[in-house]
Amino acid sequence: MGEPAKTPEVIIPTLERVDRDGALLEALDAAVGRTRAEFLRRAAMGSAALLGALAAPATAAGAPPGKKRDTAILNYGLAFEYLQAGFYTEAEQLGTIREMSQEQALWARTLGAHERAHVRILKKVLGRSAVGKPSFNYRGVTEDPDHFTQTAVAMEDLTVALLLGQAPRISDRGIRAALFSLLTVEARHAAWARHIIGVRPIGPALDRPKTLQGVDRVVRSTHFIVSRPRTSRSASPRFTG
């Protein structure tokens, strides 16, 4: 797989490295514009830069407010929920969760169930406009309980930042409001995950958006992208998670 030698520190993948078929890039592109999408994919998943960028108020990039943009944003959310759901499901399938303590296994299984439920929710709202299930490569992180858990913390924070940044951009206020109830759950996930790894469950007083200036880019040299099947719109993908 060409992974570098193991260091004591967990190497949390960038989105680019897990985005096997370019589905995340496509979804990001539609929601926030190509330039920002490219940047977001390269930043380290748990990094302040990425979180700040995701949570920051949108610029002129992307479509004007309306149903089309709502769809793009919800598909962006759906792509991330697929990312998370797949992550937990794979860990379950590989037996990694079985290796965990009872408490940690409950945490992992509960979050997996929630993320799969989030996929179903967003698919239902999007109907025929929903993107198909992407293909991700989790770079071995799902094979080890500790790596998995640390990456989960990063991923949950990521999703909170994403929802914070995008919820205000949704023009349908019912959907906008409903995203609050997913945002709070992702935030709970993040706090719970931190508690599991023994750090304080909370961060700053306000999950405040930051600017794009002074960011720190971590560019991974290798990534694995397979061209995406074009059948995503017509077929209703069976989610086997």
Where do contacts with other proteins occur on this chain (CB under 8 A)? Answer: 57, 102-103, 106, 109-111, 113-114, 117-118, 120-121, 124-125, 160, 163-164, 167-168, 172-178, 180-185, 187-192, 195, 200-209
CB of 229 to other proteins, least distance (A): 28
- The smaller minimum CB distance to other proteins, of residues 105 and 225, is found at 105
Q: Could you list the beta-strand ranges (E) of 100-174.
A: none
Kindly state the smallest distance separating residue 137's Cβ from other proteins, in Å: 26
Say how many CA atoms lie within 13 Å of 212 toward its Cβ.
Answer: 13
CA–CA separation, 140 and 175 (whole Å): 35
CB of 88 to other proteins, least distance (A): 12
Residue 95 or 127 with smaller CB distance to other proteins: 127
Minimum CB separation from other proteins for residue 132, in Å?
Answer: 21
For other proteins, the closer CB: 124 or 238: 124
Closest CA to 203 of 168, 151, 161: 161
DSSP letter at 21?
T
CB closer to other proteins, 5 vs 205:
205
CB atoms within 10 A of CB 237: 15
How far, in Å, CA of 70 to CA of 154, rounded?
A: 25
